[in-house]
Structure 1
Amino acid sequence: MSAQPEPALLHTEEEEALRAAVRDLLTDHCDPADVVTRTESAAPHDLSLWKTLAESMGLAGLLIPETLGGQGATHRETAVVLEELGRAVAPVPYLTSAVVATEALLGCGADDLLTELATAQTVAVLAVGLHVAPAGTVPGVRLEGGALHGELTGIADASFADVLLVPADDGGLYAVRAADATVVPQVSLDLTRPVARVVLDGASGRRLGDAAPAVRRALRTGAGLLASEQLGLADGLLTETVRYLGERKQFNRQVGGFQALKHRLARLWLEVAGLRAAARNAADALSTGEDTDVAVAVAQAYAAQVAVHAAEEALQLHGGIGMTWEHPVHLYLKRAKADAIAYGTAGVHRATLAELVDLPTP
């Protein structure tokens, strides 16, 4: 009797080993109390953690071919990393640089910049608002006399970037050194992924290729793999909340033993299980190129509500301590809320899904 093939959506041994390595690193170098303290400073990004992830572990180049200095891995491995980063609400530009900007550069064939990203010499950010969906309208700056002029808002992690990938009104995507632009921090709900306004006043840029296909590819991948970050956030909160309720006592009983709370946690567990399937399917579809648009739309139509619900339940079930600034649960709630509009809202993705399956909305 022949052996049955392993279901495609299950994690491989290599993926589980990668998860363990990343989780161990974050346990040692991404303490929640330190993240809270960092968000109160002028430098919310964790440069030391980023260097360890990008340089020592080589994770910045997961999606970049080995011929360019990368790992030549797939979106499945990248999803594992993002899940663990979401679980730790790590303040590093992994999604924006190692995923979104990398995909844009792959779409343009910018080998030299890809090598810089793979070897952690450079952090790149796509200068498109975090709220823009894959099929949304992408604002561009003016190209006048070979120089770029204009303003772009809501650019995630721009303050940490070395290179900005800027769409222009001539249809091109330009690489602009961040030092040639004015990056003005904006008020960010999620302090672990700050946004900024980018002002270009005669900045020089190098044309990489056509903006439309490269940006759409980048945003679609960003939306699909964002679901893995949201999964890690939700699953981590559920695990921590169950642990806390097992320790907390009220009326000389463990709070976790109350039937009403068991029901709430069971409902949340089912939601997280559903998100795990949707996020994994999106990562696998991005890797294989099969039914990618549908898989990404399904994942993002569902992910936001689960992540936000997990954060709200965690905050409430942690009682008084959950309402304090010192406890990190507020970071998770803010990340979940910010992720809910990143790369398109759930409503936008539901509308996209309806069109893809020929089921128009009323």
Structure 2
Amino acid sequence: MDLTRTEEQELIAATARELLSARAAAAGARAMDGDPAGHSADLWKELTGLGWTGLPFAEDDGGAGGDFLDACLLFEELGYALVPSPLAASVAACGMPIARFGTPGQRERWLGALAAGTVATAAPLPWDRPGEGPTAARDGTGYVLDGVAPFVPFAASAENVLVAARLDGEPRAFWVDTASVTLHPVGTLGFDRPCHVELRDVRVPPDAVLGGDRAPADAISRFGAAATCAEMVGAAQRVLDMTVAYAGERHQFRKPIGTFQAVQHHCSDMAIDVLGSRFIAYEAIWLLSSGRDASQEVATAKAWVSEAYERVCALGHQVHGAIGFTQEHDLHLFSRHAMSTALAHGDANLHLDDLATALDLP
């Protein structure tokens, strides 16, 4: 595994950081906190114009010819700037399963639309309630979907949703028009404006099912979890940078608090967690980009990064003291983000249980 960035990847990351830093005041989490959509439509148009919405898709499918790792550099910078966006839901959790398992016709039609700026999202089966979620039944040559897909991010902004539903007891993935579903907005700590998506006798044609087995439905969670890890890595790096800067500026007893050993230990522990999170996340991302089976690596990354990001935020609050809890300071926004993303696509306990099962541990 070589995680050294190419010149092109360095350019992608640098361009993304510069752009998102300039747009954060108008499109960041603080600015979007009261917005019903939860993200900036103007920024989305700008991202589409830059080709970000099609970055990991093949040129024959209307994309830019990059790969999933390239897209994760964007997700990381979105986390660093704390800019809410449906980019990860649309491109990673929805687009990548299509790119990996779709027929040529599905890729041309669906990925072409995503690359052109159509907002889509994905609805994996609920990880915290096994056996629940939407079901599918055959209806002639097509299918009928029933049930509720919970906590679907940016569903109100999406034109389509890739729904994981059980067909004959096995998860399958279906491409659904959001005009045919009922959305129930849910208030959460996060910034992704989730909705419970209610499907009642939603009929879809035979070519709306993705792949011939459960692999595409599993890929929704796998790519979604990996993209979330990249976002958390960027956000944790930002919390570390904010904390180190504050430790150099805040004076106590006529000295910067960064000269105190206890504060230095906190910052060192944060740096270790950020670096470890980066390595473990991008190992899983690299394997996914290479087309390999990365189920155990993704589970390991999601379990570790979820807890590490929360630890980084907790230590950041220790260094900042009371100012970090105030509404005016951004640190509490990152803490909200950490709690929300830790639950996205499965919490640490779920992924550790999955790892124990895969490794046949008692």
The reply to whether TM is greater than 0.5 is yes
Deviation, structure 1 residue 176: 2.1
Q: 1:13 aligns with which of 4, 7, 11?
A: 7
Structure 1 residue 33: Cα displacement: 8.8
Q: Is it true that 1:125 corresponds to 2:121 in the alignment?
A: yes
- Correspondence for 1:80: 73
Aligned AA (1:93): P
Deviations 1:112-162 (A, max 9, x none): 011100111x11111225x638xx767323548554332222112211111
Secondary structure at 1:309's aligned position in 2? helix
What is the deviation of 1:272? 1.3
> Could you list the per-position Cα deviations for residues 169-201 of structure 1 after superposition, in whole angstroms to 9, with x for gaps in the alignment?
4365332221222111012111x2121111223
Kindly indicate whether residue 161 of structure 2 is the aligned counterpart of residue 159 of structure 1: no
Task: Report % sequence identity.
Answer: 30
1:108–1:208 CA contact under 8 A, matched in 2 = no
User: TM-score, length-normalised on structure 1?
Assistant: 0.89
- Alignment of 1:113 onto 2:107: no
Q: 1:77 to 1:275 in 2, by over 3 A?
A: same
| Contact 2:300 2:355 survives alignment (8 Å) | yes
Which ranges in structure 2 are unaligned for 5 or more consecutive residues? none
1:67, CA displacement in angstroms? 0.5
Q: Distance in 2 between matches of 1:322 and 1:230?
A: 19
Q: Check conservation: 2:134, 2:146, Cα contact below 8 A.
A: no
* Larger displacement relative to structure 2 (285-294 or 151-160): 285-294
Unmatched tracts of structure 1, length 5 or more: 1-6
Between 303-312 and 292-301, the greater mean CA deviation after superposition: 292-301
In 2: Cα distance, 1:354 partner to 1:264 partner: 31
Which of residues 31, 36, 42 is equivalent to 1:42?
36
CA distance in 2, matches of 1:303, 1:143: 37
Task: State how far apart, in whole Å, the 2-side matches of 1:328 and 1:96 are.
Answer: 24
Return the letter of the residue paired with 1:164: V
2: CA distance between counterparts of 1:47 and 1:315? 32
Alignment match, 1:360: 361
Measured at CA, do residues 194 and 263 of structure 1 come closer, stay the same or move farther in structure 2, by a change above 3 Å?
A: same
Change (3 A) 1:138 1:88: farther
SS of the counterpart of 1:340?
Answer: helix
Measured after TM superposition, the shift of residue 43 of structure 1 is 3.1
2:324 equivalent to 1:322: yes
Which of these residues, 77, 80, 84, is aligned with residue 91 of structure 1?
84
What per-residue deviation string (whole Å, max 9, x for no partner) do you get for residues 52-79 of structure 1?
Answer: 12x1211111221100110121122122
Write the letter of the residue equivalent to 1:220.
Answer: R
Preserved contact between residue 57 and residue 66 of structure 2 (Cα < 8 Å): yes
Q: Distance in 2 between matches of 1:52 and 1:279?
A: 27
* TM-score, with structure 2 as normaliser: 0.89
**Structure 1 residues 9 and 189, CA, compared in 2 at 3 Å: closer, same or farther?**
same
* 8 Å Cα contact 1:340-1:346 kept in structure 2: yes
Distance 1:147 1:286, change over 3 A: closer
Determine which of 83, 90, 94 is the counterpart of 1:101: 94
Match of 2:338 among 328, 336, 339: 336
Pick aligned residue for 1:280 from 279, 282, 290: 282
Is the 2:310–2:335 Cα contact (8 Å) retained in structure 1?
yes
Offset of 1:11 from its aligned partner? 1.3
After TM superposition, give the deviation of residue 326 of structure 1 in Å. 2.3
From the superposition, tell whether residues 77 and 333 of structure 1 become closer, same or farther in structure 2 (CA, over 3 Å). Answer: same
What is the CA-CA distance between 1:216 and the residue it aligns to? 0.6
